C-alpha cells in the first residue's frame, strides 16, 4: 500500500493553500477532491472580497489571520501575476442612531491593528461616492477584490511544482487510525471510479461546510469533538446598468453576516449580497442553490437605505453560496477552529471547522498557522 507524508481533503481555496504549504515544506502530499475540479463549491460562490480584518473580536483567529492574510494575499498576487482590484470599502451609518455602531466597528478594527482605516464624515463620503446616502462612514483602503479562480489556479500550480498530486472525484470513505492514538498514521479508503487505499502520517480535513461530515468518517474520533454543521445561505442579486459606486459599500453588520452590501467584480460589474438565509437542513446534499426572486424585495429595502435611487426592476437573481458555520442562528459568530491532536488525541489529525469568511483572504496565513501547529506537535 502506498504511503505518503500528508493527505489534505478538499480542494477549495483553503485546502489548496494548505496542500501547497505542506508540499513546500518537503512533505509528499496528496490532495483529495470529491468533485471533478478544484474550487467548485464554496470557493466558487463568494464575493471574492479581500477583507481587511475589521469586524472580528480582538485576538480571535479570524482577526489575526485576516490581517496577516490580507498583506500576504496582496503580495502573493503581485508576485504571481494574479489580478486584484484594490477598490477600497466604505462601511456606512445611514442615520445618527448608527453612529455608535460605526464607532464600535472602528474600535474593533483599531484593536486588530488593521492598517489604512479611518472614520470620515458623510460629506467626505459623498465626495468619494456622490450617489451614497450616509451620515458617516469608515473608509478601509486595504479592502479589495481578487480573481479567486486565478488565485486558486496559481496555488494548484505551486502545489504541483513542489511535487504534490491532486486526485479528483476521490471522496474519503473511511479513515482508520494505525496504532495507539494513530501514532502510525492513518489508512484511508478512498472512493471514485477506481477507488484506492493509501496510508498517511498527516491527515488534514479542509472540507469546508462538509468538514463535520468528513470527520465522522474517521474511526476512533470521539464524536464530541465534531461540531454540528449549520447552513446559512447567502443570495446575490446582480445590478443591471452602470455601477453607481467605485468603492465597495457595506451597511452595519447583521446577525450571521455583514448585511446586504455592494461589491464589484474584476470587470466592474456590480452586485448586491449576500443576505443571510438559514436553511433547515442536516447535510450539504440538501442544499438548493437556486436564488428565490422574492428575496429581492428585502434587497431593495436594504439597499435603498444607502442608495435611495435604486430603481424597481434593476436587480436580477444571480447566484448563492453557503457559509460553513458551526454555530446556530442568533449565536455569537464563531471563530476558525483548528481541531488538532491536543483536542482529540489522534496524532497527525487536523480537522478545520467553521472556515467561512474571511477564509479566502486569510488562506495563506491559515496554511502558515497550521504548519506552525504541526511543527509544535512533533
Task: Report the CATH number at residue 240.
Answer: 3.30.9.10
Regarding whether 351 and 305 lie in a shared domain, the answer is no
Amino acid 258: pLDDT: 78
Counting Cα atoms < 13 Å in the Cβ hemisphere of 253 gives: 15
| Cα–Cα distance for residue pair 103/332, rounded to 1 Å | 20
- The answer to whether position 68 is within a domain reads no
> Is residue 227 within 8 Å of 353, Cβ to Cβ?
yes
Amino acid 196: pLDDT: 93
* Structural domain count of the chain: 2
Regarding whether 242 and 273 lie in a shared domain, the answer is yes
Q: How far is CA 36 from CA 11, 33, 62, 169, in A?
A: 10, 7, 30, 5
| Cα–Cα distance for residue pair 302/225, rounded to 1 Å | 39
Question: Which among 218, 252, 286, 54 is positioned nearest to 135, based on CA atoms?
Answer: 252
Q: How far is CA 75 from the centre of its chain?
A: 19
Regarding whether 348 and 205 lie in a shared domain, the answer is yes
Question: Which among 244, 274, 245, 308 is positioned nearest to 95, based on CA atoms?
Answer: 308
What CATH number corresponds to the domain at position 192?
3.50.50.60
Q: Indicate if the pLDDT at residue 75 is higher than 80.
A: yes
Amino acid 34: pLDDT: 97
Regarding whether 288 and 163 lie in a shared domain, the answer is no
Q: Determine the straight-line distance between the first and last CA of the chain, rounded to whole angstroms.
A: 24
| Cα–Cα distance for residue pair 272/111, rounded to 1 Å | 29
Q: Indicate if the pLDDT at residue 194 is higher than 90.
A: no
Summarised one tens digit per residue, pLDDT across range 266-309 is 999 999 999 999 999 999 999 999 999 999 999 999 999 999 99
Regarding whether 138 and 158 lie in a shared domain, the answer is no
DSSP, collapsed to helix, strand or coil, labels residue 83 as coil
pLDDT bin (cut points 50, 70, 90) of residue 334 is very high
Q: Indicate if the pLDDT at residue 346 is higher than 90.
A: yes
Set of cell numbers at residue 121 = 464624515
Residue 311 lies in domain: 86-143+229-325
- The answer to whether position 277 is within a domain reads yes
Summarised one tens digit per residue, pLDDT across range 92-151 is 999 999 999 999 999 999 999 999 999 999 999 999 999 999 999 999 999 999 999 999
Amino acid 327: pLDDT: 95
DSSP string, 162-199: TT-EEESS--EEEEEE-SGGGTT-EEEEE-SSS-EEEE
Amino acid 253: pLDDT: 86
Give me the helices (H) in 270-358, please: 296-303, 341-344
- The answer to whether position 75 is within a domain reads no
Regarding whether 175 and 293 lie in a shared domain, the answer is no
Question: Which among 359, 372, 373 is positioned nearest to 70, based on CA atoms?
Answer: 359
Give me the helices (H) in the chain, please: 13-24, 61-79, 99-111, 122-128, 148-161, 211-215, 296-303, 341-344, 359-377
Amino acid 63: pLDDT: 98
pLDDT bin (cut points 50, 70, 90) of residue 28 is very high
Instruction: Provide, rounded to the nearest whole percent, the portion of the chain with pLDDT above 70.
Output: 100
Q: How far is CA 117 from the centre of its chain?
A: 22
| Cα–Cα distance for residue pair 94/134, rounded to 1 Å | 4
Question: For 212-216, what is the mean pLDDT?
Answer: 98
Set of cell numbers at residue 293 = 426572486
Give me the helices (H) in 223-312, please: 296-303
Amino acid 378: pLDDT: 77
Question: For 196-223, what is the mean pLDDT?
Answer: 97
Counting Cα atoms < 13 Å in the Cβ hemisphere of 70 gives: 27
Amino acid 333: pLDDT: 86
- The answer to whether position 244 is within a domain reads yes
Amino acid 193: pLDDT: 86
Regarding whether 294 and 240 lie in a shared domain, the answer is yes
| Cα–Cα distance for residue pair 223/215, rounded to 1 Å | 9
Regarding whether 217 and 176 lie in a shared domain, the answer is yes
Regarding whether 196 and 280 lie in a shared domain, the answer is no
Q: What is the pTM of this model?
A: 0.97
What are 93's strand-pairing partners? 136
| Cα–Cα distance for residue pair 360/44, rounded to 1 Å | 11
Amino acid 198: pLDDT: 96
Counting Cα atoms < 13 Å in the Cβ hemisphere of 152 gives: 20
Instruction: Classify the phi-psi angles of 370: left when phi > 0, otherwise alpha if psi is within -120 to 50, otherwise beta.
Output: alpha
> What rounded mean pLDDT belongs to the chain?
96
Amino acid 330: pLDDT: 87
Q: Indicate if the pLDDT at residue 79 is higher than 80.
A: yes
Amino acid at each position: 500500500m502506498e504511503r505518503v507524508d500528508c493527505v489534505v481533503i478538499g480542494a477549495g481555496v483553503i485546502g489548496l493553500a494548505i496542500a501547497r504549504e505542506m508540499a513546500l515544506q518537503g512533505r509528499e502530499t496528496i490532495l483529495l477532491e470529491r468533485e471533478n475540479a478544484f474550487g467548485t463549491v464554496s470557493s466558487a460562490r463568494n464575493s471574492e472580497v479581500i477583507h481587511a480584518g475589521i469586524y472580528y473580536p480582538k485576538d480571535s483567529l479570524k482577526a489575526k489571520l485576516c490581517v496577516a492574510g490580507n498583506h500576504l494575499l496582496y503580495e502573493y498576487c503581485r508576485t504571481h501575476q494574479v489580478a486584484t482590484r484594490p477598490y477600497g470599502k466604505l462601511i456606512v451609518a445611514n442615520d445618527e442612531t448608527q453612529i455608535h455602531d460605526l464607532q464600535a466597528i472602528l474600535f474593533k478594527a483599531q484593536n486588530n491593528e488593521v492598517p489604512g482605516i479611518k472614520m470620515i464624515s458623510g460629506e467626505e463620503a459623498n465626495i468619494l461616492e456622490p450617489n451614497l446616502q450616509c451620515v458617516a462612514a469608515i473608509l478601509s483602503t486595504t479592502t479589495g477584490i481578487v480573481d479567486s479562480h486565478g488565485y486558486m489556479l496559481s496555488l494548484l500550480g505551486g502545489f504541483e511544482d513542489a511535487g504534490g498530486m491532486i486526485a479528483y472525484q476521490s471522496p474519503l470513505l473511511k479513515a482508520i487510525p494505525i496504532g495507539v492514538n494513530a501514532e502510525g498514521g492513518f489508512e484511508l479508503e478512498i472512493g471514485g471510479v477506481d477507488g484506492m487505499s493509501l496510508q498517511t502520517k498527516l491527515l488534514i480535513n479542509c472540507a469546508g461546510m462538509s468538514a463535520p461530515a468528513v470527520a465522522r468518517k474517521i474511526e476512533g474520533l470521539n464524536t464530541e469533538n465534531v461540531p454540528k454543521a449549520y447552513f446559512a445561505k447567502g443570495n446575490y442579486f446582480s445590478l443591471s446598468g452602470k455601477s453607481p459606486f467605485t468603492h465597495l459599500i457595506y451597511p452595519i453588520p447583521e446577525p450571521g453576516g455583514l448585511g446586504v452590501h455592494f461589491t464589484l467584480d474584476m470587470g466592474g460589474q456590480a452586485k448586491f449580497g449576500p443576505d443571510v438565509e438559514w436553511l433547515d437542513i442536516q447535510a450539504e446534499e440538501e442544499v438548493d442553490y437556486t436564488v428565490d426572486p422574492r428575496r429581492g424585495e428585502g434587497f431593495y429595502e436594504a439597499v435603498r437605505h444607502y442608495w435611495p435611487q435604486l430603481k424597481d426592476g434593476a436587480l436580477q437573481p444571480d447566484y448563492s453560496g453557503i457559509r460553513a458555520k458551526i454555530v446556530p442562528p442568533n449565536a455569537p459568530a464563531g471563530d476558525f477552529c483548528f481541531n488538532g491532536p491536543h483536542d482529540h488525541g489522534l496524532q497527525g489529525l487536523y480537522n478545520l471547522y467553521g472556515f467561512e469568511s474571511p477564509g479566502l483572504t486569510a488562506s495563506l496565513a491559515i496554511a502558515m498557522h497550521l504548519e506552525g501547529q504541526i511543527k509544535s506537535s512533533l
